[in-house]
A and B are shown apart, each in its own frame.
Chain A
Amino acid sequence: MKVLVAVKRVVDYNVKVRVKSDNSGVDIANVKMSMNPFDEIAVEEAVRLKEKGVVTEVIAVSCGVAQCQETLRTAMAIGADRGILVETAEELQPLAVAKLLKALVDKEQPGLVILGKQAIDDDCNQTGQMLAALADMPQATFASKVELTADKASVTREVDGGLETLSISLPAVITTDLRLNEPRYVTLPNIMKAKKKQLDTFKPEDLGVDVAPRIKTLKVVEPAKRSAGIKVPDVATLVDKLKNVAKVI
């Protein structure tokens, strides 16, 4: 069984982004870019499924600028067998990415597609579900445990108030939550090996997908600052303030 894993190149999660002074967006010039952390978990899960012998090939896909190649090389260093880049300089929104992935699903016919539940830049949490709908596949989002057989997946999901287990028929879409696994560190020999792996590039036009954005960003501003309050010297003062000043207890 083939597994397709989608990976997004995003501003590294350690970087504190700044809003541009003209309010047109956030300034991402010269900041460190990395693979979206949830996507890293997705790649790790796919590679573990391969190591268990239930999956034969792991294909990593990224959509975006030419530099997404680096993200794909990281995925291949974790253990993906090959990479596909859908290259475009256009701003890609989740619906467009889902359509590009749907075109690749038609081409590659994977038994499973694994994606991160959300990207840490636009925080949309949409692409996996949209792909599932477009490809008419069942979905299991926010996965914390995946067990795979030849034609079914049993997936434990993180939901409000606890966990929920679904059984879905393959092909299917799974999106990852934080606790699914802990991605391995990539080693230098694997980074070197990844450089030699196959990486194919397409344009959205090659896949017949219109990627024009549907949602326009009018402006981006800093969030309202919450001002710091006071430091209290001891517990007694704290209790007094909560009772008599804030009146919340």
Chain B
Amino acid sequence: MTSLVIAEHDNASIKGATLNTVTAAAAIGADVHVLVAGHNAGAAAAAAAQIAGVSKVIHADGASLEAGLAESVAAQVLAIASNYTHILFPATANGKNVAPRVAAKLDVGQISDITKVDSPDTFERPIYAGNAIATVQSADAVKVITVRTTGFDAAAATGGSAAVETAGAAADSGKSSFVGREVTKSDRPELTAAKIIVSGGRALGSSEKFNEVMTPLADKLGAAIGASRAAVDAGYAANDLQVGQTGKIVAPQLYVACGISGAIQHLAGMKDSKVIVAINKDPEAPIFSVADFGLEADLFTAVPELVAAL
């Protein structure tokens, strides 16, 4: 029994989501190998070899793998899939994009977004936007899994000394090409990795107000900025800031929800945060039912006051 973790990386370094996925793989109880599929990704492969608990790194390098296209990465995984009983991807945009291609080609079902490993074939995963937790068992020979990173602690990024083995890169499918990327430029920590998140809802009323009110608070706390789906739908915040079942799942040390009512789909994305603060003028807002500290107040006065008091 051996597990393969598909590393999330940017060719230069390993992304944090990989570390949580390694922990999930270790919980299965098998040897853990990591695949780094990229281009000029030697540094990422070397970093993967340092992760505690990893016994081997497979480094596939080629131009076809540079942009992480699903067709190429899936082909790369399939080329070595027969060596493994479990293939785990972080449930990131990349992991979700590639994993089902691998599962379908192997003719196995996929277990998405696991939050707990019960046994090598039994896992827990949230369904209905986190309103229920299903325990599921796979009868397939290979388990293709995506791992909800907030469900597992990060493995130590150093302390390991795995051997790095190189593999030939899969051929380009010729059917898909990468055109460009618009990365949201920000000096703030990444949402899924942030220790503190301040999040705004529809009550902010406009994109100008969203920035005007939320930015100083984020700056003061060194926090990442998040938003509810309602705020994103209304155009107050970019979609990649969306916290919730259909956006990012986060679990920071401190989550400050401002003007967010607390729809179930939002709660599903942040209720594992260590400490939750809610600022809302509606005393009946469901967000108060999960908040450690609730402040019933108008956010337009309370948030600037909070910024001043910090």
Residues of chain A touching chain B, judged by Cβ–Cβ distance below 8 Å, are 11, 13, 16-17, 19, 26, 93-95, 98, 118, 120-134, 137-142, 144, 154, 157-169, 172, 177-179, 213-223, 226, 228-232, 234-236, 238-239, 241-242, 246, 248-249
Contacts and interface: CB of A to CB of B under 8 A. Distances in A.
Contacts of B274: 246, 248
Contacts of B71: 138-139
A139 B232 CA distance: 25
Interface stretch (B21-29, B38-46, B97-105, B200-208): B97-105
Interface stretch (B49-57, B79-87, B153-161, B288-296): B288-296
B291 A229 contact: yes
Contacts of B190: 161
Contacts of B126: 123, 223
A217 B306 contact: no
Given A125-B113, A129-B99, 6 more contacts: A26-B127, A127-B100, A133-B100, A139-B97, A169-B176, A229-B293
B294 A232 contact: yes
Given A129-B70, A168-B175, A161 B240 contact: yes
Given A165-B181, A235-B306, A124 B294 contact: no
A120 B128 contact: yes
A125 B271 CA distance: 21
Instruction: Report the contact-size class of chain B (Cβ under 8 Å from the partner).
Output: 35 or more
A164 B178 contact: yes
Given A215-B138, A229-B292, A124 B70 contact: no
Nearest to B143: A215
B132 A17 contact: yes
Interface in B81-96: 92-94, 96
B211 interface: no
Interface string B209-235: 000000000000100000001001100
A238 B99 CA distance: 43
Q: Which 5 A-B pairs have the closest CB atoms?
A: A214-B109, A129-B100, A229-B292, A130-B104, A138-B175
A242 B104 contact: no
Contacts of A127: 100
Given A124-B112, A228-B288, A248-B275, A220 B134 contact: yes
B138 A129 contact: no
A221 B132 contact: yes
B136 A218 contact: yes
Contact of A238 (B103, B138, B306): B306
A133 B99 CA distance: 10
A166 B131 contact: no
B173 A231 contact: no
B246 interface: yes
B245 interface: yes
11 contacts: A11-B128, A13-B265, A123-B128, A126-B99, A133-B104, A214-B140, A216-B137, A216-B139, A218-B136, A226-B289, A246-B293
Contact of B293 (A133, A162, A230): A230
Interface string B234-255: 0000011000011010000110
A24 B287 CA distance: 29
A134 to B, nearest CB: 5
B221 A17 contact: no
B136 to A, nearest CB: 5
